[in-house]
Amino acid sequence: MSTQDRVKINKLPTGVPGLDEIVGGGLPEFSFNIIAGAPGSGKTTLAHQFVFANATPERPALYFTVLGESAIKMLRYQQQYTFFDPAMLPGSIRFINLSQVVLEKDLGAVLEQITKEVEKANPAVVVVDSFRTMVRKPQSDMDLQSFIQRLALFLASWQATTFLIGEYAEDELRDNPIFTVADGLFWLRQTAERNSIVRKLQVIKLRGQDSVPGLHTFRITDAGVQAFSRTFGLIGHLKDPPSHRRLSFGIAELDKMLGGGVREGDSVLVAGSSGTGKSVLATQFIAEGIRQGEPGIVAVFEERPQAYAERATSLGLDLETPQKDGKLSILYLRPLDLSVDETMHSILDAVQKIGAKRLVIDSLAGFEMALSPGFRADFRESLYRMIFALTGIGVTILSTVEVDESFTEFPFSTYSISFLTDDIIRLRYVSIDGQLRKIMVVIKMRGGNHAKDIREYEITDKGVVILGKRLTNYQGLISGIPVRSDRPGSTEESSLDTGIEHKN
Amino acid sequence: MRDLAQRLLEYEAFAAEASEPLGSPVLRVYEKLRQSLGEFVGVAGFQSLAFRALTQAKSEAPGLWAVRLAVDGSLQGLGEFQPQQGEFEPQPGFGKDQACEGGVVLIARLLGLLLIFLGEAITLSLLRMTWPGEVLDDRSSAYGRKA
């Protein structure tokens, strides 16, 4: 069958930010869907968002309430959400209570009542909340199956997109006939992880549509349910072709060490222990970008944007003006129960808003701490998805990471994430001539040559300043406790492999 | 809320004169509310709201002592209502036995509960299903003063 012979399935907006992408562009029109989950997981709110996004006076929504939350209380609470438009009641959205017929009669009478109301209103959307309570009364499997079958057939024939809402447990998935009949099955989960609540949504089934598999984080705010796709809203976005541009740090010597600068679209990791100047380097990177007309985002987790900007000022870098000019956004993300997907959403919003080319994440440790404990377990995987998505749209990312100073190892990060990064710059303290000095080395540059030099640097009121030439008179610099070696022409390159353990 | 209740009663009194009357204006307003809200909140839902409204109204209008609620939420015993001295507040279009303070109070209390639970916008939307907008939209009296 050619594409043009196939029936076109219209996709309806879900009214839930982020969910359209997860379901493959919108919900199939006339589909018969289940929203399942435990009490308080957001089922009713999600259904309301769909209803408010699709109901019209000509094709209204019928919202059947059964036993459980009364319509009055439901509306009392639901009208607090910003999507709730009271003017749509009752012309476009009608609430009908079926409690009495459910309590006093059988499923046949319930179907008859629904049929009567649907024939009268010709609705585009039908919701039964809660369907579970409707069928909880003892009845034979055959009755139930027949009821569900007839209900689904009737509502589809009347060209209604339907949601049945129910408090189902996951072990019911196998045997309950409702799940067989349904075209779409949305499962909302809510679990407590230490002191945080983690909400996740899964599209277990969606006929005729290519939905994004897996568990997607969602949050309920005063705007209702907001879903965060695992693909970060970048499905179908063509990966930008690799750029050959080099981005400057604004530190000429460092740019030289990097073979001319960071490749555009790379992910750079700046690793070092506390006080080695990771944030200073990151600030110089972003400030230089702005100076060259490349808008930037700084995601900070450990200090407030104002403090971050003030620290930049002390280095002679103006981050206030570009913020006012819309060329820089400093995001403070620290609610302690974030998911990477939400963080990513905030960052992507900012990237798109100001057309950012450079992004600083300062720091990965702060980022991890801002996440709900449940999400920390997936930190590496989430970080991978985030970096892949952002670099895919041409953003150059610089992340800072704190590493414990060790005199037996030379770790790049505590997250085993160096494989995620294209370039690694390592900063560390070193004991030389009775002083604790700082050295810098470019460990890795994917797809490009870089200097092997170990360079000493200082943090001055102009930021990171690289001193002199490479250190040639010491052996074992990267151990932190070098030994003076006055052999002429000795270099440090060989010391990288002198028994010091490299940890990724 | 009292003003709105009074306007609904006046409207129904006028409608009763213009067409075939079915009970007192109080009963007519109440029954219309019961029908429209019953569909929305269910019989039990309406019954519990009405019970609360009646309990409150009885404390303000003792003449409602004989009024009871049936299981389906309908009013019983309204005919036995004996207006107390000073309870009448004659309005144009009201018959002597209809313009009673107790009826106004009961309807006002019921509308007041809707306002508390649902807010003004949804309450008015629901009432518009039954009564014309001009009866409801007189802001100078409906929502400008307290019940």
Q: Are A213 and A200 in contact (CB under 8 A)?
A: no
pLDDT at A269 over 80: yes
Distance CA A188, CA A199 (A): 7
What would the pLDDT profile of A443-473 be if each residue is shown by its tens digit? 988 877 888 899 999 999 999 999 988 777 8
State residue A407's pLDDT score.
59
Q: Name the residue ranges covered by the structural domains of chain B.
A: 2-142
| Per-residue buried b or exposed e for B6-30, using 16+ beta carbons within 10 Å of the residue's own CB | bbbbbbbbebbeeeebebbbbbbbb
Distance CA B143, CA B124 (A): 11
- The minimum CA-CA distance between A105 and chain B, rounded to whole Å, is 14
pLDDT at A193 over 90: no
In terms of C-beta density within 10 A (0-12 exposed, 13-18 middle, 19 or more buried), how is residue B133 classed? exposed
Q: Which residue has the higher pLDDT, B84 or A436?
A: A436
* Inter-chain residue contact A75 with B42, CB threshold 8 Å: no
Which of chain A's residues have a Cβ under 8 Å away from the Cβ of B42? 65, 70-71, 97-100
Which of chain B's residues have a Cβ under 8 Å away from the Cβ of A72? 41, 45, 49, 117-118
Domains of chain A, earliest start first: 3-228 (3.40.50.300), 251-503 (3.40.50.300)
* Inter-chain residue contact B45 with A89, CB threshold 8 Å: no
State residue B82's pLDDT score.
46
- CB A140: neighbour CB atoms within 10 A? 8
Helix/strand/coil for B29: helix
pLDDT at B85 over 90: no
Distance CA A431, CA A471 (A): 13
> B40 CB near a chain A CB, below 8 Å?
yes
Q: Are B146 and A103 in contact (CB under 8 A)?
A: no
pLDDT at A336 over 80: no
Which of chain B's residues have a Cβ under 8 Å away from the Cβ of A95? 40
pLDDT band per the 50, 70, 90 thresholds, residue B63: confident
Average pLDDT on A427-444 reads: 90
pLDDT at A416 over 80: no
What's phi and psi for B82, nearest 5 deg?
-110, 105
Q: Are B44 and B70 in contact (CB under 8 A)?
A: no
What ipTM was predicted for this assembly? 0.73
* Inter-chain residue contact B49 with A99, CB threshold 8 Å: no
What would the pLDDT profile of B4-37 be if each residue is shown by its tens digit? 999 999 888 887 766 554 568 899 999 999 998 9
Please count the residue pairs, one from chain A and one from chain B, whose beta carbons lie less than 8 angstroms apart. 55
Distance CA A106, CA A148 (A): 13
- CB A468: neighbour CB atoms within 10 A? 9
> B90 CB near a chain A CB, below 8 Å?
no
What would the pLDDT profile of A344-398 be if each residue is shown by its tens digit? 888 888 888 999 999 999 988 888 888 777 777 778 887 888 888 888 888 999 9
